[in-house]
Amino acid sequence: MAGVNVKSEIKPLKKVLLHRPGRELLNLTPNTLEELLFDDIPFLKVAQEEHDAFAQALRDNGVEVFYLEDLMAEVLEGNPELREKFLKQWIEEAGIRTERYQKIIFDYMQQNYPDAKDFVLKTMEGINLAELHTDKSNSLVDLVSESSKMVVKPMPNLYFTRDPFAMIGNGVSINRMYSETRNRETIYGEYIFAHHPLLKGTPQYYSRYSAFHIEGGDILNINEHVLAIGISQRTEPDAIDEIAHNIFNDPTSPIDTILAFNIPNSRAFMHLDTVFTQIDVDKFTIHPGIMGPLTVFEITPEGSGIKVREMNDTLESILEKYVGCPVELIPCGGGDRIAAEREQWNDGSNTLCIAPGKIVVYERNDVTNKVLRDKGLDLIIVPSAELSRGRGGPRCMSMPIERED
């Protein structure tokens, strides 16, 4: 069945979109870590082994796994006329301003990467000056640049497929990202949702060309009627206003309430899903720093516009009201402050639920994992020594396409 169907964080997962970390990670250097939003450089070979184990764990539990790079390659193979258009757009979005370099890079990509998948992977990896074999005597820029300079920067965050777009019910938000580095990633979503048979025709609730930033890690499907969105370091309230209008104006969408959670603006609380995630009908993992009173805005449709109501209450009370039953909040680190801070840094509360009470977790968060197991949850543990260096957990690394209703 083609199309998107994600009306819950916990219903059995049927289809998921991943990106296997590639050579883009080899183009991270200590000097570019901050710009490219990494805290350390993962060892690619081990990161790929860990990611393959993650994908296999999903398959072993009945989930059909799709890869972003495969879907994009299939779009180009099925629509050869799009290749030039995509390449020119990719070059422009990479910030290549001079006509000389636009032509050099265009010719280099066309001549050296005839295979669609190799071509797509190269657009993710980036290009350094040495690869282009330019005549340095023709350009002052070339003469003063180091040969290892990245002419087109890599996209190392792509393995966090949760963020560039987000499935909402039967629709999608193709996001405008917080950083320039990650904004380039959404080009693949633009083409896949416009042209791939699996996803073509999906209602679009947000555009990558919108003025305000919003990221998928801030979007949680509580149930078919309620959507939670974080006001965070990465998502602006203006974007939530816009997406609310678009969702409420879609007659096919059953969503009638959007909860905007005002969360601390810091890297540790980067997205709403680093603060809490639903793992069972009545259970959530949470960051202990979020247990006090919260400001949440309830957004509902009113006429052709929206109505916003401020609520100040505990996370527990707010979730109980909208989930419709008493809930249990399970703090990351099991109440130990040092363990909580360490394991939150390694995404202890960023779990992927593949069925009620059945969750994928990182191996290294052993304190939190023991607490979850003691609460009766079924844990699928995946290795994470290298993947976690990018500051994202199993939920960040996955974009559900279809869950059971």
Which sequence positions are flagged as catalytic? 396
* Matching residue, tokens 């910030």: 95
How many Å apart are CA 396 and CA 190, to the nearest integer? 20
How many Å apart are CA 84 and CA 102, to the nearest integer? 12
* Matching residue, tokens 């938000």: 173
Q: What angle do CA 394, 399, 401 make, to 5 degrees?
A: 135
Going 361 to 364 to 366 to 371, the CA torsion angle's sign is: negative
How many Å apart are CA 230 and CA 183, to the nearest integer? 19
Please give the backbone phi and psi of residue 347, each rounded to the nearest 5 degrees, phi first.
65, 45
Coil, helix or strand for 65?
Answer: strand
How many Å apart are CA 12 and CA 402, to the nearest integer? 9
How many Å apart are CA 112 and CA 94, to the nearest integer? 19
How many Å apart are CA 288 and CA 109, to the nearest integer? 48
Task: Report the largest interatomic distance among the alpha carbons of the chain, rounded to a whole angstrom.
Answer: 72
How many Å apart are CA 3 and CA 170, to the nearest integer? 7
* DSSP assigned state of 6: B
DSSP letters of 167-196? EEBTEEEEPPPSSHHHHTTHHHHHHHHHH-
Phi-psi region of 122 (alpha: psi -120 to 50; beta: other; left: phi over 0): alpha
How many Å apart are CA 20 and CA 22, to the nearest integer? 6
The helix (run of H) or strand (run of E) holding residue 357 is none
The helix (run of H) or strand (run of E) holding residue 143 is helix 140-144
Q: Give the other-Cβ count within 10 Å of 289's Cβ.
A: 18
How many Å apart are CA 351 and CA 381, to the nearest integer? 10
